[in-house]
Amino acid sequence: MNAVNTSAQSRFHSVEAATENNAVQEQVIAVFRGPHQPATDIAAKVQALETLLTQAAQEFDSISLASSLAAEDNVLFDVIARLKLNIRVFSLNTGRLHQQTLDVAPALQAKYGQTVQWFEPKADAVETYVNTKGADAFYDSTALRKECCGIRKVEPLARALQGAKAWVTGQRQAQAATRATLPVREFDADRGIEKFNPLADWSEADVWTYVRQFDVPVNKLHFEGFPSIGCEPCTRAITIGEDIRAGRWWWEDPTSKECGLHNANLKK
Ligand code: SF4
């Protein structure tokens, strides 16, 4: 780990300890985004978020939140649980997640009494990939990386969304070049269902202000330099000044980095 990361990590350990005294937002933003960026009218954004999710749950009798258990998804989980919305929450256990990510689900259940439903890849597909290409073949080419994501993420997502009329994600415009024009609501033509991105226009500061105000459980890796978290071998900590998703598939072209769950972002 280089000097910048070491510095960031030690500051994040301070952040973790500071969570209880409501200082988490300022310090997280300070590390990832440079000077403090105040959350933009967070009360209005929370109200708009609650209204959007409430209306979505009323409009669609089968609607799911696809949660990666990141801070954004946990904000959405908090709204769903607080307002008792009829929105199912599921997550994809790719088999390559960090333990810290797996630990978020029981933390959410302990706070809200609501479970996260897990979906896993098909064992025979994983076995074939590992035996014929190698367990970490995703480093060798984008095609092999997409094949792994297809087996471990895209296919389980399709199964998780079977019968759903709409789904919800925690994506934000500011996260990556591929998400710059992300709408709050869109039609997911690949799956033929409606898709909501309620945090599309939320900033990093907005998310962490919400986390602080509502005491939302978060992945501990966020405090170790990981603003965006995917599978363990495909995610690294970022350094100060880097793009929020710079640590995801860091060896690939940043304008085409999506795992196949949100292909419409690339078409835009
Ligand atoms: S993020 Fe990496 S390990 Fe996870 S499914 Fe994609 S290629 Fe495979």
Instruction: Please give the order of strands across the beta sheet that includes 88-92.
Output: 117-119, 88-92, 63-66, 166-168, 193-196, 185-188
Residue closest via CA to ligand 1's atom 4 equals: 231
Q: Give residue 54 CA to ligand 1 midpoint distance, Å.
A: 33
Provide φ and ψ at 65, rounded to 5°: -95, 120
* CATH number of the CATH domain containing 130: 3.40.50.620
Let me know: does 245 contact 176? Beta carbons within 8 Å.
yes
Active site residue 148: no
**Residue-by-residue pLDDT tens, the chain, 268 positions:** 333 333 333 333 333 433 444 455 555 555 555 445 566 788 999 999 999 999 999 999 999 999 999 999 999 999 999 999 999 999 999 999 999 999 999 999 999 999 999 999 999 999 999 999 999 999 999 999 999 999 999 999 999 999 999 999 999 998 877 888 999 999 999 999 999 999 999 998 899 999 999 999 999 999 888 888 999 999 999 887 787 788 889 888 877 666 667 766 656 5
Q: Per the structure block, which two tokens stand in for 60?
A: 């669609």
Domain extent, residue 167, equals: 3-267
Asked whether the CA dihedral 31, 34, 35, 39 is positive or negative, the reply is: negative
H/E segment holding residue 43: helix 42-59
Predicted structure pTM score = 0.84
Amino acid at 148: C
Let me know: does 5 contact 225? Beta carbons within 8 Å.
yes
Q: Give the number of domains in the chain.
A: 1
Residue closest via CA to ligand 1's atom 5 equals: 149
Pairing of strands 193-196, 185-188: antiparallel
Which residue(s) pair with 97 in the sheet? 231
- In angstroms, the CA 206 to CA 150 distance is 32
211 CB within 6 A, ligand 1: no
